[in-house]
Structure 1
Amino acid sequence: MARTKKPKETDPTKMGRRQQLVETYRMTREVDPRIGLWMLVAFLVGAAIGFGLFWLFPGSGTFGLIMAIIGGLLFGLLAMMIVFSRRAQRAAFNRLEGQLGAAARALTMLRRGWKTDEMIGFTKQQDMVHRVVGPPGIVLVAEGNPNRLKPLLASERRKHERVAAETPIHEVIVGHDEGQVRLPKLVKHVQKLGRQVKPAEITDILNRLKALDAQRPKVPLPRGPVPTSMKGMRGNMRGR
């Protein structure tokens, strides 16, 4: 009796670490065909630097050569993984750009200490506002048509000011125009808004926002395939 072939796992959260890396490389190569070449160059340069540094350490003969080779391999692998991580992240953003809810996907890369709520405000034309609560206070992140987003952001600001009047509120519009933030730079932009509230205050802010969110209609954010590389980048940023 023929054995049925087990279907390939496609959910990144259920993949092993090795399988995630392979899938991330595959998806990155679709966007960045030269990723393999860049990784090879990074490995060779890192290995040369590592070999040279360890060769200068006190020691001679076979032991010194072995240590230099090990140091070269370690430095080479480290350089290769750094290049892979950065180019995979860039490829993931390129895959997300232009998709509905792309900003919400990018915000999942924020590390611990941040609370993201997707699509707290929206229009019939699929413009949307997401909310991030963290060290800067409350950050309203909008994506869509700028003309429609302005009144939507103003409305959300008023709602949040009623329940958290003393909390700093920031507004960010994702896009390519002047005054907007491009998707690949969104996470860094949010992180650079500063540290204006303490961790204990964040807990209080979240409790205040629960009452506001309880009055909102529950509209699920349309889900598309999340690039595996985004999952990998988020795990790396959280230290897993």
Structure 2
Amino acid sequence: MARKEQAETAASANPGRLKQIALTYKMTRRSDPKVGLILGAVGIVTFGVLLAIGFLIGHPYYLGLLGLLLGFLAMAIVFGRRAERAAFGQMEGQPGAAAAVLQNVGRGWTTTPAVAMNRSQDVVHRAVGKAGIVLVAEGNPNRVKTLLAAEKRKMSRIAVEAPVHDIIVGDGEGQVPLKKLRTTMVKLPRVLSGPQVTQTNDRLRAMGDLMSNMPLPKGPMPKGMRMPRGGRSR
């Protein structure tokens, strides 16, 4: 009976996964029209090379089967990378795009979107992990520096033991492109222990932040979103 329920659960999950893959493919194809041809070429070349080697050594069936499996694996890897690149391309330039990336950095990080913002929608997000506190700003480089400086001073007073890093998302000098934000975060040296991270998060949570009473949608913020008249950057 238990096996039957597990089989039914797996069967009901498969259509959802296939639908998700199809939607991801459609999204990728909009910005990468040649993705289908590239995936087909990768699969065929991988299979062909392994099959040719199989004929040379006298085991075409074994190497052909292996080539088929490796062909699908290679297609999956290439598709994942191109889909990620397409997603970043569509997100780039949208307010709140950095917050969407931060929320998917990985386990061990606690992200708080929009801890500081001004009327021009320049915004600073905060992530806390074993690397310390990371402030990620997006918007006009000249304006966000003021927001970053104020937020950095505040963090230094509240969490003395945690190092504070600051990143400006963009393509200019000294900035980090959106597609490299996750990699940059992961490469930061880990200097805090688990209890220290928890303590830092508790202190920051008790302090509150600019948007604590305002519901924020996940992912990029709507372009038409405006700060309430009473809102000020902190």
Which band: TM-score by shorter chain? Answer: 0.7 to 0.9
- Structure 2 residue aligned with 1:172, among 167, 175, 180? 167
Partners of 1:86 and 1:49 in 2: CA distance: 23
Check the 8 A contact 2:114/2:211 in 1, yes or no. Answer: no
**2:35 and 2:200 mapped to 1: Cα distance?**
43
Q: Please give the residue correspondences for 1:227-238 in structure 2 after superposition, counting only pairs within 5 Å.
A: none
Q: TM-score, normalised by structure 1?
A: 0.79
Structure 1: tracts of 5 or more residues without a match: 1-14, 227-240
How big is the shift at 1:168? 0.8
**Closer/same/farther in 2, CA of residues 195 and 52 from structure 1, 3 Å limit:** farther
The C-alpha deviation readout for 1:203-233, integer Å capped at 9, x for no partner, is 121112111226765334466779xxxxxxx
1:88 and 2:52 equivalent? Answer: no
Shift of the 135–208 alpha-carbon distance from structure 1 to 2, 3 Å rule, reads same
Query: Secondary structure of 1:16's partner?
Result: helix
**Aligned match of 2:115:** 120
The residue type paired with residue 75 of structure 1 is L
**Structure 2 length normalisation: TM-score?**
0.80
After the TM superposition, which of the residue ranges 88-97 and 107-116 deviates more from structure 2?
107-116
User: Are 2:95 and 1:110 aligned?
Assistant: no
The sequence identity of aligned pairs, in percent, is: 46
Corresponding letter in the other structure for 1:23: L
Q: Distance in 1 between matches of 2:124 and 2:79?
A: 32
Query: Structure 2 matches for 1:189-200, cutoff 5 A?
Result: 189-200=184-195
User: Structure 1 52/161 Cα, relative in aligned 2: closer, same or farther at 3 Å?
Assistant: farther
72, 77, 95: which one pairs with 1:77? 72
Q: What secondary structure sits across from 1:104 in the alignment?
A: helix
Structure 1: distance between partners of 2:175 and 2:132: 20
Select which of 128, 131, 137 maps to 1:133.
128
Residue aligning to 2:37: 37
Q: Cα RMSD over matched residues?
A: 2.3
Query: 2:119 & 2:91 partners in 1: Cα distance?
Result: 22
Alpha-carbon distance, 1:65 to partner = 3.2
- Give the counterpart letter for 2:179 in structure 1: P
Q: Distance in 2 between matches of 1:78 and 1:217?
A: 44
1:132 to 1:223, Cα distance in 2 relative to 1, 3 A: closer
Is the counterpart of residue 212 in structure 1 residue 207 in structure 2? yes
Seen in structure 2, the aligned counterparts of structure 1 residues 220 and 149 have a Cα distance that, compared at 3 Å, is farther
Q: Alpha-carbon deviation of 1:175?
A: 0.9
Q: Pick which of 148-157 and 105-114 moved more.
A: 105-114
- Could you tell me which runs of 5 or more consecutive residues in structure 2 were left unpaired when the two chains were aligned: 1-14, 222-234
Q: Which has the higher contact order (CA 8 A, sep 6+)?
A: 1
| Structure 1: distance between partners of 2:104 and 2:28 | 17
**Is the aligned partner of 1:28 residue 2:33?**
no
Which residue is equivalent to 2:158? 163
Amino acid corresponding to residue 186 of structure 2 in structure 1: Q
Post-superposition CA distance 1:8-64 (Å, at most 9, x none): xxxxxxx8111110000001000000001111121123223444666788xx5xxx4
Residues 116 and 210 of structure 2 are in contact (CA less than 8 Å); yes or no, is this contact kept in structure 1? no
- Figure out how many residues of one structure are paired with residues of the other and give that number: 207
Structure 2 distance, partners of 1:54, 1:113, is 46
2:182 counterpart residue number: 187
Partner SS for 2:125: strand
Matched residue, 1:144 = 139
SS of match in other structure, 2:153: helix
